[in-house]
Each structure stands twice: as C-alpha cells, then as structure tokens.
Amino acid sequence: MTVLLFAVLLQVVLAGAARPGQQAPPPEPPQYEIVTQEGAPLRIVSVQTKWAVPDRTGIEIYATVENVGAKPISSYATRNVGGDEGEGGKHCLLISAHSPGKALRPGDSEGRSTWTGVGAGTPAVMRRAVDWVEFTDGATWGEDTCKSAEALAAWRAGAREARRLLREVFASGGADAVLETLKQHGPKVSPPDGHSDAWKAGFLRGVEGYADRVRRADQEWGYTEIEYALRRPIDALDEKSP
C-alpha cells in the first residue's frame, strides 16, 4: 500500500512539472511595501502589481488610498521612495478630482492604476509613499518632490483657457459651432510665455483634456449637453480659481 501511494504521489508531481519544450510559469512581478508616514492625511492601503505586457518589461501598479484626515482631498500624488526606485525612477502618480463632487472625502478610499517599465535593475520589492496632497480649500501637505502643484497649475490654466474660448464659440454659434471647432482639433491655444517647457506641455495637456471632456459629453448625451458641459467646473478646485 505504501509503495502504491508513493507511486500515485510521484505521478501527480510529474504531471505538474514543466514538460520538455513547455514554458515555465513566469516569475512574479516586482512587489511593493508601503511606507508608514506619521501625520499624513492620506494613507496608502495597498499596492498590487501585475505584468502589463507579455514580455514582462512593464507592470501595472494599482494603488488604493484612504483619506484619513479631516478635510476633503482634491488631488494627491504617490511615488517610489528610497534607493529602490527602479527603471521608472520615482514614478509619480498624480490623481486629481475632475469636479468638486469627486473630491475624496474623509474616510473614503479609492484605487487607481498606472504603468511603469521594469528591467534587470528593478528590485524585486520597492517602496511606495504619499508625496503630496491638496485639499479642497487650497491648502497642501507633503514634500511635492514630484512637482505636482506646478503640473496641476499648468493643466488648470490650459483647461480654463480652452473653456473660455469654447464658451465664446458657443455664444456666437451654439453647440454646432462648438462641435465643428472640436472636429477641427480645436480650440487652437498657445501656451503663454515666461514658463518652463514642462509647464507649457502641461498647459497644452489641459487644453486637450478639456476638449476631450466636451467631446465625450456630446458622445454620451448628445449636442444638447454641450451647454451644460461648458458650465461645469474643470476640477474640484475650480470654484476657488479665477
């Protein structure tokens, strides 16, 4: 009986082993440890990773955060920290609520994903921390090594300018004129002088991002939604912005 049981177990083990020519299971993607940050208004709850491409040169990072402070959060950034930043460097992930009602309220949590490349020098375990937090009253917390405040200022300036121009188009020609402008890849806006190249790039992303938002409003609800889309705040801080 003992010999028979051993033979059965051996067959099971051999059946689960890789056969000649058969690929072995892929190695696990790099994992994350969460850095504890005393007094931070935002807490990283978990960070999950999975391979994003078949050749395992990139991973998807899904980070879940929780507002553990007393004020609603309009924007926040997380990043890699320490000497284990890997091929993606700090790899900052900036998240900004697109309307006041989407701000992260105290006690609420949410998860967002991003992608980063990995290579031979990427550690098996990396660390993730909150870098910067912006509240709906305009106050901020954190080192902001990712320069999120500057990036958001540029994006908001571009979005506000795009909204201003599209409102002018609507006032003179209605929803059809706005749609025609968007079909022509407009509005055409140049970044103002006196800013860095990074700021100008963020400004243009804000212009295009706002234009895409109006396009989606038309696609999802029809041309009658254009007027309402142009009245809405560009993000959670728009009511505080000039």
Q: What is the pLDDT of residues 178-219, one digit of tens each?
A: 999 999 877 888 899 999 999 999 999 999 999 999 999 999
> Is residue 90 located within the same domain as residue 186?
no
Among the three residues 127, 145, 163, which one is the final residue of a domain in this structure? 145
Strand ranges (E), the chain: 31-34, 42-51, 58-67, 73-80, 93-96, 109-117, 125-135, 140-141
Query: Which of 145, 168, 189 finishes a domain?
Result: 145
- What pLDDT does residue 4 have? 44
The reply to whether 15 falls in a domain is no
Residue 20 in any domain: the answer is no
Whole-number CA gyration radius for the chain? 24
Domain count, the chain: 2
Its pTM stands at 0.83
pLDDT at 87: 43
Residue 107 sits in the same domain as residue 72 = yes
222 in any annotated domain? yes
Single out the residue of 184, 89, 90, 72 nearest to residue 143, CA to CA: 90
- Let me know whether 141 and 236 are in one domain: no
Would you say residue 14 has pLDDT above 50? no
Given 145, 174, 192, the domain boundary residue is 145
How long, in residues, is the chain?
Answer: 242
Same domain, 109 and 135: yes
Which residues form the domain of 80? 27-145
Q: What percent of the chain is predicted at pLDDT more than 90?
A: 75
Predicted confidence (pLDDT) at residue 8 exceeds the cutoff of 50:
no
Query: Of the given ranges (102-111, 119-128, 175-184), which has the lowest mean pLDDT?
Result: 119-128
19 falls within a domain: no
Percentage of residues of the chain with pLDDT beyond 70: 85
Rounded Cα gap, residues 177 and 174, in angstroms: 6
Confidence of residue 83 (pLDDT cuts 50, 70, 90): low
